[in-house]
Amino acid sequence: MASILLVEDEEKLRELVKFWLERAGYRCSDAANGRTALRLFYEMHPDLVLLDLALPEMDGWQLCERIREVSQTPIIMLTATGEEASKVRGLQMGADDYVTKPFGFPELLARVEAVLRRTGHPRSGVAGQPLDVYRYGELVLDVQAHRATLAGAEIKLTPIEFRLLAFLMQHPGQLLTHRQILEGVWGETYVGDIDSLRIYIRSLRKKLESESGPDYIATEHGLGYRFLPRPR
């Protein structure tokens, strides 16, 4: 049974979400502020964190940063704003997903299940492929060690960025549609979430490519993306 740490300062919403999570079969602990949540995180070592951003004492951004300093535990952010800048900031800080308030509980449970499914067995391979090391030019991805390097220097990738890069590198030169990538990296629940995919591709490109450096990811407009085994 997976354990979830729910961090939400709105009491009624926190109690309702906890009720639905426990009814769905999860063990759930909850906190109303960031400092209590951080203490519970160290004590219970949850399988997933549901994190509201607007928290007293320590906000969600700070708490996410503190968690990412010591753990890759998946984090789903609960945000009252649908602004892209807020979503981008959360994803770049290491959040695995976000849900915009107000949300339906079926949607929330589906996202929880999807994140747990794709992060629950990190050493079983990526997208169903065997563990391996992928090398293209100066870019090297060691799936088993969960490490990416470019010209010998380690690239700091979030968990989602790493899985996305691994999926692309496992299909060198192949056109991968938006649907194929979303299903392969996020799961069937996310096949229509092209905006999130674009955000991650943009972030990944910033870490892999420079103005004078090679391009590793090509955009096929309206279709998807292609990993370039021979960067141009």
Sketch out the chain's domains with CATH numbers: 3-119 (3.40.50.2300), 133-227 (1.10.10.10)
Mean pLDDT of the chain: 84
Query: What are the tens digits of pLDDT across the range 168-192?
Result: 988 888 889 999 899 888 877 777 7
Is the pLDDT score of 83 beyond 80?
no
Sheet holding 175-177, edge to edge: 175-177, 224-227, 217-220
Residue type, 192: G
Answer yes or no: are the C-beta atoms of 184 and 160 closer than 8 Å: no
C-alpha 94/C-alpha 67 separation (Å) is 9
β-bridge pairing 133-136 and 75-79: unpaired
Q: Give the residue-averaged pLDDT of 4-10.
A: 95
pTM: 0.57
Q: What is the pLDDT of residue 126?
A: 35
C-alpha 99/C-alpha 196 separation (Å) is 12
Q: What is the pLDDT of residue 17?
A: 93
150 SS3 class: strand
- Residue 218 pLDDT grade (very low, low, confident, very high; cuts 50, 70, 90): very high
Q: Give the residue-averaged pLDDT of 100-107.
A: 87
